[in-house]
């Protein structure tokens, strides 16, 4: 883990609780989307406004050692706050089970690479396709590659 600073837990209780349990257990507990068997990872980023560390559980979309962070926000009309964090501070830490490594986040523009990763994301977790249908915005995709 390379990020240092003050960690400020999410204002959402379920996020705070899931991150705390995931980290405390080395990813053995609280490692799925609540109520499902769908795996998650925890991503730590630097807040664009505060400079504080923020931690978010996201769906585990991985291929060949790279991860995809899908800024779907459930199909809302705006991006989740962490998307702006990634844009301003692209070095993030990602915990997948007990492993924590630093990654560089790169937003994927429209085109073949994005299309390929989007297809992989929807194949991994089909609900992403439903989220895209709920919004007019193109859901941002961030490719996380080892730093």
pLDDT at 141 over 70: yes
Any domain includes 62: yes
**Tokens at 50, concatenated:** 């505060």
Any domain includes 98: yes
* Structural domains counted in the chain: 1
Any domain includes 8: no
Any domain includes 121: yes
Per the structure, the complete domain to which residue 22 belongs is given by 13-146
pLDDT at 120: 98
Any domain includes 109: yes
What CATH code is carried by the domain that includes residue 81? 2.30.110.10
| pLDDT tens per residue across span 74-118 | 999 999 999 999 999 999 999 999 999 999 999 999 999 999 999
pLDDT band for position 1 (50/70/90)? low
pLDDT at 144 over 70: yes
> What number is the average pLDDT over the span 23-29?
97
Any domain includes 6: no
> What number is the average pLDDT over the span 54-67?
97
Question: What does the mean pLDDT of the chain come to?
Answer: 96
Place of tokens 């937003």: 107
Rounded distance, CA 99 to CA 127, Å? 26
Rounded distance, CA 120 to CA 114, Å? 10
Between the alpha carbon of residue 65 and those of residues 27, 60, 138, the distances in Å are: 17, 12, 25
Rounded distance, CA 118 to CA 140, Å? 10
Any domain includes 30: yes
Any domain includes 29: yes
Alpha carbon of residue 22 to chain centroid: 14
Encode the chain in three state secondary structure. CCCCCCECCCCCHHHHHHHHHHHHCCCCCCCECCCCCCEEEEEEEECCCCCCEEEEEEECCEECCEEEEECCHHHCCCCCHHHHHHHHCCEEEEEECCEEEEEEEEECCCCHHHHHHHHHHHHHCCHHHHHHHCCCCCCCEEEEEEC
pLDDT at 2: 85
């Amino acid at each position: 883990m390379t990020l240092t600073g003050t960690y400020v837990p999410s204002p959402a209780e379920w996020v705070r609780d899931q991150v705390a349990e995931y980290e405390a257990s080395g990813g053995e507990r609280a490692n799925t989307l609540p109520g499902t068997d769908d795996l998650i990872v925890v991503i730590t980023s630097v807040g664009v406004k505060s400079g504080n560390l923020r931690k978010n559980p996201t769906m585990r979309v991985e291929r060949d050692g790279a991860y995809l962070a899908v800024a779907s926000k459930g199909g809302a009309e705006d991006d989740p706050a962490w998307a702006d964090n990634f844009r301003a501070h692209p070095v993030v830490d990602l915990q997948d089970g007990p492993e924590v490594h630093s990654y560089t986040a790169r937003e994927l523009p429209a085109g073949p690479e994005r299309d390929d990763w989007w297809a992989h994301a929807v194949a991994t977790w089909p609900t992403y396709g439903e989220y895209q249908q709920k919004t007019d915005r193109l859901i941002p995709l961030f490719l996380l590659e080892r730093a």
